[in-house]
Amino acid sequence: MATYVPPVRENNPHLPFGDQRGAPFYGKDILSVKQFGRPELEYAFAVAREMQEMVTRVGSFDLLKGKILANLFYEPSTRTSSSFTSAMERLGGSVIPINEVHYSSVSKGESLPDTIRTLECYADVVVLRHPEIGSAALAAKYARKPIINAGDGVGEHPTQALLDLYTIQEELKAVNGLTITMLGDLKYGRTVHSLARLLSLFNVKINYVSPEILRMPAEIIEELDEKGIPQAEFTSLEPVLADTDVLYVTRVQKERFENLDEYESVRGAYVITPEMMQAAKDWMIVMHPLPRVGEISMEFDDDPRAAYFRQMEYGLYVRMALLAMVLGKA
């Protein structure tokens, strides 16, 4: 797992549109944050900003009219699924929703490659959520149409990491120079893993705050060390809160634990409240990938620093940008 590198598929020569115009990601898959360097991020965020402006101004527009997205979710995720559906619809495109794959031909034993090769007969782009690591790369290996990874188990969830970074950029107007504190389940959370990797492209300082058993994996810390990113680990938020520009809170997910007692002992340890946040800066932000289950008190929601619902909205613009990019309309 530690050394998993998704095989980023070269542009397939059979692809009807290919990469001929040279636009980044045109006809390509979005599988991993590793595909994104600073230039790719800048390009994607510039497109996202255009999307944001257009949505604010006219709500929807017909950039992808006639294009079809197959929204293939092997795992339920109302949030991500709805976000991609909205992104495609606001761009004038259509969606084939496939949410109940446990009832579908998958349950008859069909392989993921066959499902993908069938769906790409009907759609122009496939968004895939799958419980197994490497599944998005597998799908992309067989597909002629672009695949967007919407989460493959404990693997990657690149569109989440991109929207997280876009949120930081838009809310604080810069990434360089910031102190980011990640809180909660840093061991199993693919969200913080991918975000940490993206952040290592910038001059930032990162704090990890977690229970001992949920520490950030050593391989990621080493990866960032090599890039010269200052990192520090804590078991309590208190020592780093005052210096924090971005507090990234994660859910301690019960399903990640083999032992329920272990879960109960840590779940309540890092709850964000208005009182606690008095020690934080005025213009910092609190983020969360959502859904939350008590990690942030609802009483904090009205605080202007609570950025997690705005984060959802930034996600729409980033996903609109990615769809437009891979379909060559950015």
Q: Where are the beta strands (DSSP E) in the chain?
A: 68-73, 94-98, 125-130, 147-152, 179-183, 205-209, 231-234, 246-249, 285-287
Contact between 20 and a second copy per CB under 8 A: no
Q: What is the DSSP letter of 306?
A: B
Q: Is 32 exposed, middle or buried (0-12, 13-18, 19+ CB in 10 A)?
A: buried
Q: Which is nearer to a second copy, 38 or 65 (CB)?
A: 65
d(CA 323, CA 127): 9
Whether the Cβ atoms of residue 70 and residue 125 lie closer than 8 Å to each other = yes
Nearest distance from C-beta of residue 102 to a second copy, angstroms = 9
Contact between 268 and a second copy per CB under 8 A: no
Considering only 60, 203, 236, 273, the residue that binds a second copy (CB under 8 A) is 60
| DSSP SS3 for 41 | helix
Q: Which is nearer to a second copy, 124 or 245 (CB)?
A: 124
Residue type (1 letter), 149: N
d(CA 27, CA 44): 15
Interacting residues with a second copy between 98 and 127 (CB under 8 A): 98-101, 103-111, 113-115, 117-119, 121-124
Q: Which is nearer to a second copy, 114 or 225 (CB)?
A: 114
Query: Which span sits near a second copy by CB under 8 A: 21-29, 170-178, 210-218, 290-298?
Result: 290-298
Query: Which span sits near a second copy by CB under 8 A: 6-14, 53-61, 206-214, 231-239?
Result: 53-61
Contact between 305 and a second copy per CB under 8 A: no
Judged by CB under 8 A, how many residues of this single chain contact a second copy?
57
Q: Where are the alpha helices (DSSP H) in 130-217?
A: 135-142, 158-172, 190-199
Sites of contact with a second copy (CB under 8 A): 58-61, 65-68, 70, 76-79, 82-83, 85-86, 89-90, 92, 94, 96-101, 103-111, 113-115, 117-119, 121-124, 253, 290-293, 298, 309, 312-313, 315-316
